[in-house]
Each structure stands twice: as structure tokens, then as C-alpha cells.
Amino acid sequence: MAHLTNTAPTAELQALDAAHHLHPFTHAAGLKDKGARIITRADGVWLQDSEGHRILDAMAGLWCVNVGYGRRELVEAAAAQMAELPFYNTFFQTSHVPAIRLAERLAGLAPEHLNHVFFAGSGSEANDTNIRLVRTYWEMKGAPQKKAIISRWNAYHGSSVGSGSLGGMKGMHAQGGMPIPDIHHIDQPDWWSEGGDLTPEEFGRERARQLEEKILELGEDNVAAFIAEPVQGAGGVIVPPDSYWPEVNRILDKYDILLIADEVICGFGRTGNWFGSETMGIRPDIMTIAKGLSSGYQPIGGSIVSDEIAEVIGGDEFNHGYTYSGHPVACAVALENLRILDEEGIVTRVREETAPYLKKKFESLADHPLVGEAKIVGMMGSIALTPDKASRAKFEDGGALGYLTRERCFANDLVMRHVGDRMIVSPPLVISTDEIDLLIERARKSLDEAMDEAERQGLL
């Protein structure tokens, strides 16, 4: 059997990586000079690299390894399914047990009126599905002009041309011809950066009302859907003010516009409930899922769709699907992952025990001189770095401090991500209170070191 365990020196692997491997969201020349950090194995919340460092993964990979690394049950579920039926498709009136069971399970977990699942291989694919689903739905309802989809600047919905267009990352739109037509963006509810003199509550309402203004500008008869993450993740963990979602709900109801809740990060316990929609009080018509669905052990995503949409779409052939829609091995692993989350009471423990513990510790970082606000919902949080807390000032060289802090975290064997000058945590949901203490200790040390380094470099 071919083993991929590391036997080569790190420098050799780095050279091969630089020679042949194109990385996502990476400046290739910069990486070549530095050499990639090579992760070789992992267990619980701990990664190990090719140099033998043990690193606390406060990002759960890419916000996805909810049950933690090293769960044998998931390995066994994959192996058993591969032996029995490694692949079959779900096209052309065929099905298989893992897809049937997983769809049933998801219908049981999702809000009452969402009982139908269209599977995909990733969150991006699922959001591409959603674009076609909502437009086809309105077409079949006799309203083909309802095509516009409203999203938000600084949202992240994926990297394919469709989902990247839904997202509001201007740097992504600048490359490769995005956005596609009929996608519109409104401003995000980021009070810290954009709230000016308004109170958070006033600002939340103001940002929600931009949705109403956009609907009226486009014409209410032309708008198919609004898409949003219950709590923006990749944009920097932007926790909206409490006034935001109730006002958005009111507006969507008033104009009969579908709501797609992108639960790719928020789903499967991350916010302390099964879905972020519960935590934020949202009533979606479609939920996008991926990541925590399989805890990242297999690539799988999907759209959980309302009874109403499923019924209308079911009236004709929906000409859409991926080879790996409902992949049996991915479905079997996802089912086992949901069993673990449920039977081990992981979501409940997050809500009642570890998330409140993390919140207290994480918010205490706000007393650090570099930290403006520290915001956290469940197991996803961020701190905003600032040269002046009182005025919520931004650094002139946006992102430099975040990068510096991220590098100090790495040096201290802690993975935190930086988005501009926000530092993010999103640890595996199984993180213990001792590990949370360690996370905070290393984060504080890294902030101290980043501040010293910034002073040396004249950034402060």
C-alpha cells in the first residue's frame, strides 16, 4: 500500500510544493520564498507539522473540523462505504442508501418547513445550485422577471463564478469576469468599521433598510432572493447588531422575497445551535450547507430547501447536478459525523459550557492595547486590531498588523486567521476548557509580540 506519510526533509517537500502545486488564495511567488508549512497529522484540536511542532488549530482547518481530528468512527464509516458501494450517482431516477438516509436526517435537523436536500460537493457548488434554484422557482411560478439576487459586500459565498459573484469580495470580483449579471450588493452590518457616530442598534437598522432601498430601486417584482450568512465568517466574523436581522426579516416578508441563509460556516453547531439561523432568529427558504456537515472528513455540501420550493421545482425537470451530488462515501461520513455531534451532545456542550467559557476569555482580550472590539458567537469570534480604541481608528497600512499577528501566532504554535486587521478564531467544537485557556494565553502572547514588532517597524 502506498503511504503518503512524510519521510522526506521539509525543505525538499517545500521545493516540490513550490515547483508543482498552485495554492488557493495564495501569492505564489511569496510562498516560494518562504516555503509552505507542511501539516502531516492531527488529533483532537492539535496539528503536527513536518518539523514535529504541535500546533493548536483555533480555526478547525477552514472552519470545518467540528468534531475534531482523528475520529476513527469517520474513517471506518468511509472504509465500510467504499467497500460496499464506493460510487453511484443520483441522476436519472436512481438513488442509494447513504444519500437517502442523510437527506432524511438533515430534514429532521433543519427548521420544520425545510425538508428537501439537493446535494453538492462543496459550499460553492451548493450556492451555484441556489442561484439556479431560486430563479427557476420564480420562473415556474410565472414570474420569470424575478432574477435579481441581493447579497452584501464582504460576504463570502464561495469561489466558483456563480458563488463568487454572490460573495462581496471586491478582490475576487476583480479577477476573471465577476460578478455575473443580476447580482447586487448592499453594505454589511459591520458597526466597528463602518458604524460612524450611530449606535450599534441604529446602525443595524440602517444597514437592514439598505435592503429595502435596493429592493425598491430594482423593483420588488424583479428580486428573487436575498442571500446572507447568519454571521459573516470569512469577511472577518462580523456579528451584526441585534437590531439587524429582525428588520431584515420584516423587509423580506413584506416584499415576498426568498431568503437563502448560507450556513456553510454557521451550521452544525458552530454558533451553539444546529444552525446559525436559530441563533440569529432567521426563517430561511433555503440553507446552504457544507464544512461541518462532514467535519471536513469528506467534501460534501448541499442546499436544504423548503417544501414550497421543492414542490414548485418538482413540477418540471431541474436540469442541474454534479457527478458527486450525494456521493455515497461523503454521505456515509456525514451521517456518522451527525451521529457523533448528536449522541455526544457536542452542540449542547458548546451552547451551555464551552462557548460561554470561551466568550468570557475571548472578550477579556479587549483589554489589550492593540484590541478594539472582541466579538464572539458560539465558537466563532474575532478581534479588531486598532491604533486607537476610542475612535475605532484603522491602521494606515490595512492588514499589515493582522498579518504580523498571524505570523506571531504561528511562531507560538497557534493557528489564528487574519482578515485584514481582524484576528479570527473558530476552533473545533470539541475544544476543552484547558485548551481554551492555552488558546487565549498564546493569543495574548502573540498580540504582545506583534505590538513590539509593529513598534520596531514604525507601524504604531
User: What is the residue whose three cell numbers read 441585534?
Assistant: 242
CB closer to ligand PMP out of 157 and 408: 157
Residue labelled with grid coordinates 514604525: 458
**DSSP-assigned states of every residue in 163-218:** HHHHS--HHHHTTTT-SPTTEEEE----HHHH-TTS-HHHHHHHHHHHHHHHHHHH
What is the nearest approach in angstroms of ligand PMP to the Cβ of residue 389? 29
Asked if 393 and 386 touch (Cβ cutoff 8 Å), the reply is yes
What is the Cα–Cα distance from 31 to 23, expressed in whole angstroms? 9
Distance CA 361, CA 99 (A): 41
In whole angstroms, the minimum distance from the beta carbon of 129 to ligand PMP comes to: 12
81 versus 127: smaller Cβ distance to ligand PMP: 127
Of 148 and 424, which has the nearer Cβ to ligand PMP?
424
The CA dihedral of 431, 102, 162, 305, to the nearest 10 degrees, is -110
Nearest distance from residue 425's CB to ligand PMP, in Å? 15
- Tell me the three cell numbers of residue 227: 442571500
Bridge-based pairing state of the strands 301-306 and 414-415:
unpaired
In the complex, the smallest distance separating the C-beta of residue 68 from ligand PMP, rounded to whole angstroms, is 19
Pick 111 or 267: Cβ nearer ligand PMP = 267
CA dist 108 and 173 (Å) reads 37
Positions of E strands within 33-186: 39-43, 46-49, 54-57, 114-120, 148-152, 183-186
Whose CB is nearest to ligand PMP? 123
Nearer to ligand PMP, 327 or 361 (CB): 327
Q: How far is the CB of 126 from ligand PMP (least distance, A)?
A: 7
Residue partners of 137: CB distance under 8 A and separation at least 6: 224, 258, 309, 312, 313
**351 touches 434 (CB < 8 A):** no
Cβ distance 129 to 123 under 8 Å? Answer: no
Contact residues for ligand PMP, defined by CB under 6 A: 62, 122-124, 127, 156-158, 229, 233-234, 262, 264-265, 290, 301
Distance CA 110, CA 126 (A): 16
Please identify, using beta-carbon distances, which residue of 63 and 395 lies nearer to ligand PMP: 63
Q: What amino acid occupies position 132?
A: R
445: its cell numbers: 502572547
Shortest gap between Cβ of 396 and ligand PMP (angstroms)? 29
Q: What is the maximum span of the chain, computed from C-alpha positions, in angstroms?
A: 66
Residue 245 CB, nearest distance to ligand PMP (Å)?
16
Q: Which is nearer to ligand PMP, 156 or 395 (CB)?
A: 156
CB of 23 to ligand PMP, least distance (A): 14
For 83-181, strand residue ranges (E) read: 114-120, 148-152
Q: How far apart are CA 445 and CA 87, in angstroms?
A: 48
Task: Residue 231: name the closest of 184, 164, 278, 179 by CA.
Answer: 278
Q: Which is nearer to ligand PMP, 122 or 188 (CB)?
A: 122
Least Å from the CB of residue 108 to ligand PMP:
23
Least CB distance to ligand PMP at residue 291 (A) = 6
Compute the least distance from the CB of residue 457 to ligand PMP, in Å.
31
Nearer to ligand PMP, 169 or 312 (CB): 169
Taking the C-alpha atoms of residue 52 and residue 49, their distance in angstroms, rounded to an integer, is: 5
Closest to ligand PMP by CB, 167 or 372: 167
If the CB atoms of residues 96 and 291 are measured against ligand PMP, the closer one turns out to be: 291
The angle subtended at Cα 41 by Cα 357 and Cα 63, nearest 5°, is: 45
CB of 225 to ligand PMP, least distance (A): 15
* Rounded CA separation 26/154 (Å): 19
Beta bridge partners of 305: 116, 286
Between 294 and 354, CB nearer to ligand PMP = 294
Q: Where are the beta strands (DSSP E) in 217-257?
A: 223-228
